[in-house]
Amino acid sequence: MPDLKTTPQNKSLFNASVIVAALGYFVDIYDLVLFSIVRIPSLRDLGIVSPAALLEEGVLLLNMQMAGMLIGGVIWGILGDKKGRLSVLFGSIFLYSVANIMNGFVNDIPMYAFLRFVAGLGLAGELGAGITLVSEVLPKEKRGYGTMIVATIGISGAILAGVVGEYFGWRTAYFIGGGLGLLLLFLRIGVYESGMFKSLQSSSHVTRGNFLSLFTNGKRFRRYLKCILVGIPIWYVVGILITFSPEFGVVLGVTEAVSAAKAVSFCYLGLVFGDFFSGFLSQRFKSRRNIILVFLLLTAGFVALYLLSGGLAVNSFYVLCAALGFASGYWAVFVTIAAEQFGTNIRATVTTTVPNFVRGAVVPLTLAFEAFKDSWGLVPTAMALGGLSLTVAAISILTLEETYSKDLDYLEPV
């Protein structure tokens, strides 16, 4: 694969690109999980009161958001390789910020669903563009620490979302999220485009952002699919076990009503520490694959404990949510692997679409959950989905190339 000339990399771990990418992901995560937090109060305020309807409409709105992310992931990913990492980073922040402000004004389900779709389109771009930029501007020995910082700071946005959603009302929570995003756009000064991309941009003969090329070569497609499958257990935990924790709390006999906002906050508190330690350990032990395998085993153990526990005190249940978050906190390493698997001319496309396809996997997961929960039961259905997602993730990571300290300055033949 031909090398590309690049401008010198920024060796400072806390350079402007890392800071803005981390803060962008902070707002991204705040907005991404906010619906899970305000699902019940917002739907009740719109006239949905029965438990069955709350679950049904909640699944619909969540799926609209995730469908937007699937479509947006492809669009932003292609733009990231064709127009640049920065244009996607700031364009996506602007779109999801405006959409979330508009969410604060909704008065009916159809408009709510449409705006969750638009918000999903915007939310799809920030992480992939940020991780691609950070991976390319930092030296290969430090990029794992850079993506660790982005994920650790970013995921803590969910904790703020939990606090705001619980105590400030759902409309205000949406206004705050959108306002934070618009405020972040003023921080774009001092952030520069990736040297690898700028060098690539000057090469007119190189094909950039060819999404279909991921499907025209069997070996490349399998590599791409494995990157996606590795991350699905993370969103199984967040999208099923945590989002519907109030319903699981009832079935599992938790002594008090479970607050979705608190469950999300505790889960993401665990994710913050999980992402920090998984990223740090992947650098310390110089292996992405081995660390993800360890965290998959931890996730399997805590999923079993969550689904098989009965009659827990509500605070013990929240501690279990935090433990689930920690165990599934390998998002930083997972996205870094995706960025490291492919060449510069298609890296943004991959790094943007992979996490969004993982998030979008919530759609088939929730549809399967809905389809089987009445006949199988809530817990057996969740256990079957968890077992499937963890198994395919383990097989995928075992058959992917180890990418620690891999030189990223190359082209993908397309």
Residues 113-125: pLDDT tens digits? Answer: 999 999 999 988 8
**The predicted structure's pLDDT at residue 9:** 52
Token look-up 């404990």 returns 305
pTM value is 0.85
Comparing 13-27, 333-347, 382-396, which segment has the lowest mean pLDDT? 13-27
What is the enclosing helix (H) or strand (E) of 145? helix 143-155
**The predicted structure's pLDDT at residue 8:** 46
What span, in angstroms and rounded, lies between the C-alpha atoms of 41 and 48? 9
DSSP 87-132: HHHHHHHHHHHHHHHHHTT--SHHHHHHHHHHHHHHHHHHHHHHHH
**The predicted structure's pLDDT at residue 291:** 96
The closest alpha carbon to 361, from 8, 23, 70, belongs to: 70
Given a contact cutoff of 8 angstroms between Cβ atoms, the answer to whether 241 and 303 are in contact is yes
**pLDDT confidence band for 158 (50 / 70 / 90):** confident
**The predicted structure's pLDDT at residue 3:** 41
**The predicted structure's pLDDT at residue 248:** 94
**The predicted structure's pLDDT at residue 10:** 54
What does the pLDDT average to over 295-316?
95
Cα–Cα distances (Å) from 342 to 62, 141, 328, in that order, read: 30, 18, 24
Phi, psi at 345, each rounded to 5°: -75, -10
The residues that bridge with 3 in the sheet, in sequence order, are 410
Token look-up 């759609």 returns 363
**The predicted structure's pLDDT at residue 189:** 57
The domains located in the chain, with CATH, are 16-202+210-398 (1.20.1250.20)
Query: Is 372's pLDDT higher than 80?
Result: yes
What does the pLDDT average to over 276-295?
95
Given a contact cutoff of 8 angstroms between Cβ atoms, the answer to whether 322 and 266 are in contact is yes
Pair of tokens at residue 57: 């409409």
Pair of tokens at residue 144: 């794992």
Please list, in sequence order, all residues whose beta carbon lies within 8 angstroms of the beta carbon of residue 91, skipping any fewer than 6 positions away: 76, 79, 125
Query: Is 4's pLDDT higher than 60?
Result: no
What does the pLDDT average to over 96-113?
92
Query: Is 78's pLDDT higher than 90?
Result: yes
**The predicted structure's pLDDT at residue 5:** 38
3-state SS, residue 226: helix
